[in-house]
């Protein structure tokens, strides 16, 4: 028996028995064992989703392992060489390395979300690009050395930069990528719903390399049209019912408001003295200064300066740091907004949700703004939340199908359903109102007005 036939097995609730050959194991294990990757064990995949779906306590760590496994399965199915499969598996493994506490929710504290997890990713990747790491890695992988050039290719795939062999990048990031194929199944499983389920094994069976005007791309044979329809509808339903769950988004919006209010006050407010000297406190002070500067004059140099100065703090954060902060704030007897929000999060005091009509969005915003000013209501007490989403982008990056005669066309040419949802932006708008004011007669009157059409 060759060493390549010895399997390392990970039992996974979504994919069952994930088998990695000893060779594949040594490709990814040096990264998995690193502190930067182990940090992902403590960052939940769905932010505050478990406040609504109690089972949704799975992490970015689980998802990244699953993504690497799915990437390997796709690479084998379409016949990539071992060296290419190695790059794909590493890129899939590290694609979410830049996430902060509560995943996407943490990004909301920055002005117009101008700093996202992708902006931190190059700094995490740079930590691996050292002579010491390469020496350690190549000692374990004498047949499959990792060079600076190869690691640069991995980074390009993760960061969506132009890549010579597009089909490799498609496995990492596209409308058929390993990321989506894993997270739909995984999030559906842990939330206890069926929305995200589709026949992954049949999808894999139907995958193929297709020749397009852009070169070789990851596509499917005509036998896979049905499963792609199922998969895209699963993505739409998961977005509408799970990722954009109104109660989940309301809690995450409260978390963002807490971080913003705390960032604005922690530098001087007496009750926050112990927070001010903490790692997270120092990060919030820096973030507030950054927000003030970019709100008047945004520049890439300001953004880069903030990232470089704060990376060492950022990479130490996980969900536990924010939970500890919420608990600490909730124990302070104070009327400060950060304390009041912390009390609601700590005791799960959910805002009241009111669905509104997107067609009247501009009027809704104007009416709400005037009402808040007149009645001195703070943003966190009445939050207007928009959730636009697009299930499939047929124009920008279509999924290609190879039919029985080897003719290759976008899937919208073959599927009425996919053509119908292609490039359609769906909107949901709702108002999240703090329960402490929801019974106020003026608030009741406003909500009735906003839910009508006579505004």
Give tens-digit pLDDT for 8-50.
999 999 999 999 999 999 999 999 999 999 999 999 999 999 9
φ, ψ of residue 384 to 5 degrees: the values are -90, 120
453 has a pLDDT exceeding 70 = no
Model confidence pTM above 0.75: yes
Give the pLDDT band of residue 302 (cuts 50, 70, 90).
Answer: very high
Q: How many angstroms separate the CA atoms of 234 and 370, rounded? A: 40
Taking the C-alpha atoms of residue 56 and residue 187, their distance in angstroms, rounded to an integer, is 7
> What pLDDT is stored for residue 335 in this prediction?
97
Query: What pLDDT score does 214 carry?
Result: 86
Q: What does the longest C-alpha to C-alpha distance in the chain come to? A: 78
Task: Please count the CA atoms within 13 angstroms of the CA of 239 that sit on its side-chain side.
Answer: 17
Task: Please check the confidence at residue 286 and state whether its pLDDT lies above 60.
Answer: yes
Mean pLDDT, residues 406-413: 95
pLDDT higher than 70, residue 455: no
Nearest to 380 by CA among 23, 21, 108: 108
Tell which wins on pLDDT, 164 or 368. Answer: 368
CATH class of 3-243+390-424: mainly alpha
pLDDT surpassing 70 at residue 2: no
pLDDT digits (tens, 9 = 90+) for 163-180: 879 999 999 999 999 999
| Inter-residue long-range contacts of 271-279, CB under 8 Å, 24+ positions, other chains counted | 271/332, 271/334, 271/336, 271/339, 272/338, 274/328, 275/325, 275/328, 275/329, 279/313, 279/316, 279/317, 279/321
The pLDDT value recorded for residue 388 is 94
pLDDT in tens, 269-280: 999 999 999 999
- Residue 4: what pLDDT? 52
Q: Which residues of 137-159 are buried (b: 16+ CB within 10 A; e: fewer)?
A: beeebeebebeeebbebbbbbbb
Average pLDDT over every residue of 72-88? 98
Q: Beta strand pairing status for 429-433 and 382-386?
A: antiparallel
Express as a percent the part of the chain with pLDDT over 70.
Answer: 98
Per-residue pLDDT at 3 exceeds 50: no
d(CA 314, CA 326): 18
Q: What are phi and psi of 253, to 5 degrees?
A: -65, -35
Task: State pLDDT tens for residues 219-277.
Answer: 999 999 999 999 999 999 999 999 999 999 999 999 999 999 999 999 999 999 999 99
User: What's the whole-number average pLDDT of the chain?
Assistant: 95
Asked whether 310 and 126 are in contact (CB, 8 A), the reply is no
pLDDT tens column, 323-366: 999 999 999 999 999 999 999 999 999 999 999 999 999 999 99
Per-residue model confidence (pLDDT) at position 183: 98
pLDDT at 153: 96
């Amino acid at each position: 028996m060759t060493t390549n036939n010895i399997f390392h097995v990970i039992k996974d609730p979504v994919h069952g028995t994930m088998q990695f050959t000893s060779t594949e194991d040594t490709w990814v294990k040096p990264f998995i064992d690193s502190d930067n990757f182990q940090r992902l064990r403590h960052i939940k995949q769905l932010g505050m989703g478990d406040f609504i779906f109690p089972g949704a306590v799975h992490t970015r760590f689980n998802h990244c392992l699953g993504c690497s496994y799915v990437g390997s399965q796709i690479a084998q199915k379409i016949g990539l060489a071992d060296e290419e499969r190695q790059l794909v598996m590493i890129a899939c493994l590290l694609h979410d390395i830049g996430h902060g506490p509560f995943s996407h929710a943490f990004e909301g504290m920055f002005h117009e979300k101008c700093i996202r997890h992708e902006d931190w990713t190059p700094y995490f990747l740079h930590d691996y690009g050292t002579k010491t790491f390469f020496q350690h890695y190549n000692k374990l992988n004498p047949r499959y050395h990792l060079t600076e050039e190869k690691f640069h290719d991995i980074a390009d795939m993760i960061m969506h930069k132009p890549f010579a062999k597009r089909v490799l990048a498609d496995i990492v990031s596209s409308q058929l990528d390993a990321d989506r194929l894993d997270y739909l199944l995984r999030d559906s499983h842990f939330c206890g719903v069926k929305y995200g389920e589709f026949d992954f094994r049949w999808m894999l069976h139907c995958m193929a390399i297709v020749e397009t005007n852009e070169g070789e791309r990851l596509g499917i044979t005509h036998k896979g049209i049905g499963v792609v329809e199922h998969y895209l509808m699963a993505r739409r339903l998961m977005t509408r019912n799970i990722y954009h769950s109104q109660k989940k988004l309301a809690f995450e919006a409260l978390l963002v408001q807490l971080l913003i209010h705390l960032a604005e006050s922690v530098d001087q407010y007496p009750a926050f003295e112990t927070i001010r000297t903490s790692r997270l406190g120092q990060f919030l002070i820096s973030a507030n200064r950054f927000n003030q500067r970019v709100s008047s004059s945004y520049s890439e140099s300001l953004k880069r300066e903030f990232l470089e100065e704060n990376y060492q703090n950022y990479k130490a954060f996980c969900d536990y740091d924010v939970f500890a902060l919420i608990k600490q704030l909730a124990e302070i007897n104070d009327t400060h907004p950060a304390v009041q929000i912390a009390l609601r999060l700590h005791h799960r005091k959910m805002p009241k949700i009111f669905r509104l009509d997107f067609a009247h969005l501009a009027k809704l915003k104007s009416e709400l703004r005037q009402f808040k000013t007149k009645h001195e209501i703070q943003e966190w007490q009445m939050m207007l939340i928009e959730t636009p989403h697009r299930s499939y982008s047929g124009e920008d990056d279509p999924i290609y199908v190879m039919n029985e005669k080897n003719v290759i066309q976008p899937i919208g040419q073959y599927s009425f359903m996919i053509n119908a949802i292609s490039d359609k932006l769906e909107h949901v708008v709702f108002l999240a109102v703090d329960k402490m004011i929801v019974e106020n007669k003026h608030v009741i009157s406003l909500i009735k007005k906003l839910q009508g059409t006579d505004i």
